[in-house]
Each structure stands twice: as structure tokens, then as C-alpha cells.
Amino acid sequence: MTPVLTLAELRAVEARAAAHAAPLMERAGAAAAESAETLARDTGDELLVIVGPGNNGGDAWVAAARLIETFHRVTVLDAAGKPPKAQAARAARERLAARGAAIVREWPAGMRPALVVDGLLGVGLDRDVDPAFAALIGRINACGAPVLAIDVPSGLDAASGAVRGIAVRATRTITFIAHKPGLHTGDGLDCRGELVLDDLGCGDEVVREAHGALLDAPALRGWLAPRARNSHKGAFGSLAIVGGNRGMVGAALLAGRAGLLCGAGKVRLGLLTPDPPAVDAEHAELMLGPVDEALAMDVIVAGPGAGRSPSATSVSAFERSVLPAILASAKPLVLDADALNALAYNETLRRALEAGRRAPTILTPHPAEAARLLGRETAEVQAHRLECALEIASRLNAHVVLKGAGSICAFPDGLWSINTTGNPGLASGGTGDVLAGMIGALLCQGLDAARALQYAVCLHGAAADACVARGVGPIGLTASEVALEARAVMNRWTIATWSRDEPTEK
């Protein structure tokens, strides 16, 4: 997988790289200048380079000097108004001055640049943008020119992907040394534009330091082997879906159907509603019945449509008897939706999970559910997505996916990954139930919990992307369509290629 570094890991790599012959700032500035030239090739050579007070601004000084030396018309907007601290940046500023480059303190009146290079704020931003810089970011976004962001778009929290009041909407971001979490989750996906990485020669150090990675289809290659011809349904496990209370049977059906479509050998629904349907008319292969029969399956998914207690102080039958039995079982378990809410409100259940189960546990919270599990506000979770996902994984001894744009998979050992597939079509009812069923199906097929979770999360997003690619969605994309497409994508990823002239049984 492609490594991703937290800011602490990034600083450690930078410190070790400081002994290299060429300063990192020189290399970063040169790379930014080259990227700016490619963007400006079709728009003109009048460039506005905006430099801020930190190392990000230092990279921009170096980039500006390189650009004027390659005969571009460069104006530098010095937003800090102070001599740069880094030696490479000071030397670059002197070269600019010597060549007569315009260095200004405000946006030039009437200027319509062919390209804006954003070197205002970097990865160290940990608070909302101050008013003067916020006004400048607003001007960048409104100018109509392509924007190249250096390292991260100004105003974006590189750790979380949260916008700190306002952020640059870049056409392209060239990021250095390694990928940062905030470029792949939350608002970072909308702010970064095209993303380019230059590791500045630090790639080996990055791999050694990283605890996180990007999750994409190539990373999953070989995780799920093609099926042998001599197969039977028992080889692919049996899956239980426990949920579907009155008025919410559809959630359990979606999870069960996704389990079938993604390869579980058998799927049984244990429905909580007092008047369960006798059969699923769309997928008669699903077995419907009481909860106790479902609990005999190999893998259990609990929570889709289970129903919530009226308040945090009341206890539903699901919480009182069904969920404790499930937690006490020695079977792989996926807790979704109302099972997560029960954990948040019921300290006894939560303690049972914290004490550790003999079998793997996977949790699938969206940000509001994660906030309930942690006793925090949803906005706080979104502002600290990676930290919150890791905290839930550690505290509850579970494998966790914090859903959302750039879903984060976190594990009890401190490792994590950020999913790169998916689109806004997944922001519709029932897609989480489908994901839960998919995870259960992959557990049934023998993947360990970490791989089952990551495979399902990546497949879920890839299925939505495949739907959009053929004109279905993102607006109006349904959970059922995602489940059907997941089957097709999964088979493309794993299917065996057999010779046409080999005999096959009819």
C-alpha cells in the first residue's frame, strides 16, 4: 500500500533527511516550479506566487525564483511581510529581487493571473485562519485562475481534512515527502484538486516510518483467491444478520442481500420484528426466521434496523438479551447501526467489549455514532477523524471503519488506512447496511478481520464508482444498486480464467 504519514511521523522523516546534500526546501521549490510550469502551459506565463510565513512559504520563494529564471512573469505576494527564516528561502528572495521581480504586499489591482501558486499556509495549521489570510484565500478562490497548492491547500488541516474556517480550492496540489491524512479524507477531497506526490528522495524513510496507508484496489491483489471448481457452499461460510425491527426490516434485508451477492455460502436473517415476512421475494435464497436460529451461523452481523431505545436510560429487548448473547459468542462479529448505539448507551455492553472477545470484532460507525461511542460531539469527530477512529479501535479492542468521505480503517495495534474509492452516491440510506453485509461475507470466506474490513470498504466504494462510470448516480444511486455492482466488481478482481476447451460439468 502507498504510505501515509501523520504530522509527527512526517517531522521525524524531515529531521533524518536534513543531513542530505540538497536541502529539502530547494528540492520542494524546484518540484513546485516544475508543476506550475505544466499548469501554466495552456493559460499564460503571468504567475502570482503567494508566500506565507512558514516553511510552506519558503518553498514558494524558491519556486518563484525558479519560475522567473525560466522566463515567466512572476509577481510575489509576500503575505507575511517579514524576511524568510530559512536560508534557501532568503537566497531565493535575493535572486528574485536581483532580477527585478515584483514583490508586493497586496493583490495587484486589476491583475488577472494565468496561475496562482498557493504557498500561504502549510501542514502546521492547527487553528482557524486569521482574518487577513482568510480574505486572501477568498480572493484566490474568486480569481478564476488555476491554483497550484504547495504541500496542502491553505486553510486545510493536513491531519484531519477539516477546513479551518476557509480553505483554498486548488486545481492541483503537489505534496511533498509523503501523503498526509487530510488530503484523503473529509474536506480534503474537495479542496486538493489533482494530487501529485514528490517524495523528495525520502521514500525509503517514509516506508519505514509509516503506520498508515492508502487503500485502493491494487493493494488488495491476491487477498481473495479465485474459487476452485470443486467448491461447495460450506466452503464459503454461513452469515447471520440480526436486526430488522418493526418498520426497519429493509435494513436487515439489504445487509443479507449484500452478504449473498458478495459470496457468503448461506445467509440467514434473525429478524426482531414481531411480524416477520416469511420470504424475501427478491432474493428467495435468504433464510428468514427467529434470532436464535440465526445465531448458529459462522459469522454474525448485528444491528441493521435493530431499533433504538427511546432514550439513553431505557433498554430494548435487543440490548437486554440478544446483544449480550452475541457479544459472549466466540464468532467473528460485525456491529453496525443500532448495535453501536446500544454500546454507546449501555455501559455493561461496552465493558463486555472492552474486556476483549475471543473472536474478532468489527465496528462500522458513521461520525455521529462514533461521537456517541466516545462521548463527544460529531463536529469534534470530524475535526479529528484519524485520532477518533484509532481511539475507538484501542478502547474497544476492535477493528473500526469510521465512515465518510475517505473512510478510515483503524486497528487495535495502531495501524490504519484511508480508503480512496467511493463518491457522493454513497450518501444515501441503506448503503451502510450493504457495507455491513459485505464485511460479513468476506469474513465468511476466510479473510482475517483487518483484511475483510479493508476489502469490503474498498469494494463498497469501487462499486459505487463503477455505477457512476456507467451513468447510474451519483444522484439517486441506491444501496441495492451498489450491492449488485459490488458482485460484478468483486468477480472482476478475483475470478479465475479457465481455458475454453477444458471440459466442464453442466
Task: Please give the pLDDT value at position 139.
Answer: 97
CA–CA gap between residue 282 and residue 355 (Å, rounded): 41
The Cα 334–Cα 329 span in angstroms is 12
Residues 202 and 225 in one domain: no
User: Are 235 and 122 in a shared domain?
Assistant: no
Q: Of the candidates 189, 210, 231, which is a domain's last residue?
A: 210
* Total structural domains within the chain: 2
Please give the share of the chain, as a percent, with pLDDT higher than 70. Answer: 96
| pLDDT tens, position by position, 106-139 | 999 988 999 999 999 999 998 999 999 999 999 9
Assess if residue 502 is contained within a domain: no
Q: Is residue 341 part of a domain?
A: yes
Q: What is the pLDDT of residue 82?
A: 86
In the DSSP assignment, the letter for residue 290 is -
Please state, for a pLDDT cut of 90, what percent of the chain lies above it.
83
Does residue 239 sit in the same domain as residue 122? no
Q: Could you tell me if residue 499 is inside a domain?
A: no
CA dihedral (318, 305, 449, 181) positive or negative:
negative
User: Are residues 226 and 190 located together in one domain of the fold?
Assistant: no
pLDDT at 21 over 70: no
Instruction: Specify whether 174 is located in the same domain as 130.
Output: yes
Residues 196 and 263 in one domain: no
User: How much is the pTM?
Assistant: 0.94
**Out of 4-8, 205-209, 312-316, 490-494, least confident range:** 312-316
Task: Examine the domain organization and report whether 436 and 295 are in the same domain.
Answer: yes
pLDDT tens sequence across 130-180: 999 999 999 999 999 999 999 999 999 999 999 999 999 999 999 999 999
More confident residue, 276 or 461: 461
Q: 500 in a domain, yes or no?
A: no
**190/244 same-domain check:** no
Query: At 392, which amino acid appears?
Result: I
186 and 62, same domain (yes or no): yes
Return the C-alpha cell found at 355: 474486556
pLDDT digits (tens, 9 = 90+) for 325-367: 999 999 999 999 999 999 999 999 999 898 888 899 999 999 9
Q: What CATH number is associated with residue 374? A: 3.40.1190.20
Residue 385 lies in a domain: yes
Do the domain assignments include residue 85?
A: yes
pLDDT digits (tens, 9 = 90+) for 406-432: 999 999 999 999 999 999 999 999 999
Query: Distance from CA of residue 364 to its chain's centroid?
Result: 13
Q: Residues 263-287: pLDDT tens digits?
A: 999 999 999 999 999 999 999 999 9
Q: What is residue 310's predicted lDDT score, i.e. its pLDDT?
A: 47
Strand order of the sheet with strand 147-150? Answer: 102-104, 73-78, 46-51, 115-119, 147-150, 172-176, 194-198
C-alpha distances (whole Å) from 305 to each of 123, 167, 249, 268, 468 are: 41, 38, 6, 15, 27
CATH number of the CATH domain containing 96: 3.40.50.10260
Domain boundary (164, 186, 210) is at 210
Q: Based on the fold, state whether residues 329 and 353 are members of the same structural domain.
A: yes
Last residue in a domain, options 210, 245, 273 = 210
Neighbouring residues of 363: CB distance < 8 A, sequence distance ≥ 6: 335, 336, 340, 373, 392, 396, 398, 399, 400, 401
Q: Find the domain containing 67 and state its range.
A: 2-18+27-210
Q: Is the pLDDT of residue 303 over 50?
A: yes
Across the range 34-50, mean pLDDT stands at 89
